[in-house]
Amino acid sequence: MPGHLKFGLTGISGGATSYPEALVSVAQAAEAAGFESLWAGEHIILPDSSTRIPPTYRYLNPLLTLTFVAAHTSTIRLGTGVLLLPQHEPLVLAKELATLDVLSGGRLMVGIGVGWSEEEYQALGIPYSERGARADDYLAAMRAIWSEEKPAYQGKFVSFKGVQAYPHPVQQPTPPIITGGRAPAVIRRTIEQANGWYGFAYDLDETLAVLAQLREAASRYQRPASLGELEISIAPRIPIDKETAQRFAELGVHRIIFIPPPVNDASALVQWITTLGATLVGQV
């Protein structure tokens, strides 16, 4: 099997883990069990018409969640999976992310996406049709403010010069940037601007198909050498045992991110995490 497969856990900012004591117990259990990373998703609001996620589902802010987790852990990496980048003012977000990277000792991974709910964008006063263009613009602006000695940027939606924002992230020139989604614009953004790609709720065949998309895009778009090899993360929607994990790795997946079972009891999640640690994490 190629390489060493890493394991993460997503969903820590919602549901059963949206309560402080439960969040701490789950995060510490995952670190003790050998998980490499914890991931927190984002919905600032949910429309009443939502069928994907109940509109009353508890969703904590992912950056505050990960900052809280950073204070109660020491080594596990902390990922946003994913931030809805076009819904944020980019310089404010860059400051928040840099702060989290500093306070966590350089453990941050920045997962970004553009979202699927037009109602969310309408409520926030952001044109849904501009979300892709804003994502490109905002990401470029954040790169500039994070790493340039004399940061300056001129784009369609954001521009600045003659300003500074210290401290910069510990990880330079940026924390790892990971894109989520498989629309053509996302695939292009992944090749041109990202260190990694994150697929949520994929099976083996879907993973194989998107990896083919990424390889094809790599032949059409220029990838800066500084980004390195594209790291592939998958949150599977199928049960994972050693054999299935190996099959994902053989496709070219570097990280499996577990979606927790739908339980309301944090102690059940801790037991599930502990069992995974003993039977799978670190075994493949």
- Overall average pLDDT of the 79-95 stretch: 98
For residue 284, being part of any structural domain is answered with no
CATH of the domain at 204: 3.20.20.30
| Distance in angstroms between the alpha carbons of the first and the last residue of the chain | 8
Write down the number of H helices and E strands in the chain.
9, 10
Alpha helices in 171-262 (DSSP H): 184-193, 204-218, 242-251
Q: Specify the 3-state DSSP secondary structure of 282.
A: coil
Contact 141, 165 (CB under 8 A): no
Q: How far, in Å, CA of 136 to CA of 164, rounded?
A: 21
Supply the pLDDT for residue 3.
52
Chain CA centroid to CA 2, Å: 23
Residue 77's nearest CA partner among 171, 146, 166 is 171
Contact 177, 110 (CB under 8 A): yes
Residue 23 pLDDT more than 50? yes
Model pLDDT, residue 284:
78
Residue pLDDT, tens place only, 25-65 = 999 999 999 999 999 999 999 999 999 999 999 999 999 99
Where on the phi/psi map is residue 22: left (φ > 0), alpha (ψ -120 to 50), or beta?
alpha
SS3 67: helix
pLDDT at 282: 81
Query: Does residue 11 come out as left (phi exceeding 0), alpha (psi in the -120 to 50 range) or beta?
Result: left
What residues make up the domain containing 102?
6-279
pLDDT band at 1 (very low <50, low <70, confident <90, very high): very low
- Taking alpha carbons only, the member of 264, 206, 209, 213 closest to residue 235 is 206
pLDDT tops 90 at residue 109: yes
**Number of domains comprising the chain:** 1
Please name which of 160, 203, 209 lies closest in space to residue 182, comparing C-alpha atoms.
Answer: 209
Q: What was the pLDDT predicted at 4?
A: 84
The answer to whether residue 30 is domain-embedded is yes
Residue 88 pLDDT exceeds 50: yes
Task: Give the tens place of pLDDT for each residue, 209-225.
Answer: 999 999 999 999 999 99
Query: Does residue 134 lie within any of the structural domains?
Result: yes
Is 166 a member of any domain?
Answer: yes
Average pLDDT over residues 200-208: 97
Going by pLDDT thresholds of 50, 70 and 90, the confidence category of residue 264 is: confident
Is 123 a domain residue?
Answer: yes
Mean pLDDT for the chain overall: 96
Residue type, 273: I
Query: Which amino acid type is present at position 227?
Result: L
Does residue 1 lie in a domain region?
A: no
At a CB cut-off of 8 Å and minimum separation 6, what does 108 contact? 66, 77, 78, 79, 97, 100, 101, 169, 171, 175
**Start-end of H helices in 148-201:** 184-193
Give the integer Cα–Cα distance in Å for 28 and 19.
Answer: 14
Sign of the CA dihedral running 14, 115, 64, 48: negative
Enter the pTM of the model.
0.96
Question: What tens digit of pLDDT does each residue of 118-174 get?
Answer: 999 999 999 999 999 999 999 999 999 999 999 999 999 999 999 999 999 999 999
